[in-house]
Amino acid sequence: MRKVQRVSLVETVGAQLRDEITSGRWALGDRIPSEGELTERLGVSRASIREAVRGLVQAGLLATRQGDGTYVTASDATDVAIRRRLTVADDSHVIEVRRGLDIVAAGLAATRRTESDVAALQAALQERAAAGQARDEEAFVAADVEFHLCVARAAHNPLLVDLYSSIARALAESVRDDRCLQVFASGEDSWHDVLAKAIDAGDASVASAASLALLENS
């Protein structure tokens, strides 16, 4: 038999607060109840509440605004950890990870896509093209990222979507740094269209190759 693990009161309170966040009862952007309210609800001391909240702030799930309260900033601690790691990761390492995710996502998307997935891809491409023609970099970057997220969603693998969503910020920076808008303006940007057409046609090998070529040409 294993020894019974002793769990501190702070850990118990922290687990309950975390559950409020992960369950969606406290949504992103919500201000959580005050220390006094939580003390009454849970029947514990303010000190325990304060320590539990501090732990969730350190985990990136909550953020305290001086004189305003504490707000929910994320619902997944793992996602926060990945985002923090990406901020200090070497660009080449991010590209290597993207290469793996993109090829898998493209291949799966070609075999699992639905009509709505194809429509979403086309909508993202149209928004990207419109932003490119208007030379609106922010809108172009947003549409480019949305296109790649649409590819991941079309794979119908929730874990893959979560992983790709975690690197969305790094992807946006990559689109800016690689001057993708200038490449689009030059008329040399065709791989997004090739990828979308391959997914629509259900051709996994061409979709994977197009995904790899898109990265290599970046």
User: What pLDDT is attached to residue 200?
Assistant: 97
pTM (two decimals): 0.66
**CA-based R_g, the chain, Å:** 22
User: What pLDDT is attached to residue 75?
Assistant: 79
Domains of the chain, residue spans: 9-75, 79-216
Cα(112)–Cα(213) distance, integer angstroms: 21
pLDDT at residue 198 above 50? yes
Q: Mean pLDDT lowest for which of 38-47, 54-63, 177-186?
A: 177-186
CATH topology match: 9-75 vs 79-216 = no
Residue 118, both tokens: 């194809």
Mean pLDDT value across residues 34-46: 92
User: What pLDDT is attached to residue 86?
Assistant: 65
User: What pLDDT is attached to residue 7?
Assistant: 55
What's the CATH number of domain 9-75, 1.10.10.10, 1.10.287.3510, 2.40.100.10, 3.40.47.10? Answer: 1.10.10.10
79-216: CATH topology is Four Helix Bundle (Hemerythrin (Met), subunit A) (1.20.120)
Q: Decide which of 82 and 31 is more confident.
A: 31
Strand partners, 71: 31, 63
Q: Which residues contact 45 (CB under 8 A, 6 or more apart)?
A: 39
pLDDT at residue 125 above 90? yes
User: What pLDDT is attached to residue 168?
Assistant: 74
User: What pLDDT is attached to residue 4?
Assistant: 37
Kindly report, residue by residue over 7-34, the tens digit of the pLDDT.
Answer: 588 899 999 999 999 888 999 899 999 9
Measured between alpha carbons, how far is residue 167 from residues 19, 82, 209 in Å? 25, 8, 21
Residue 207, both tokens: 């979709």
In this structure, the number of other CB atoms found within 10 A of the CB of residue 65 comes to 9
In this structure, the number of other CB atoms found within 10 A of the CB of residue 8 comes to 11
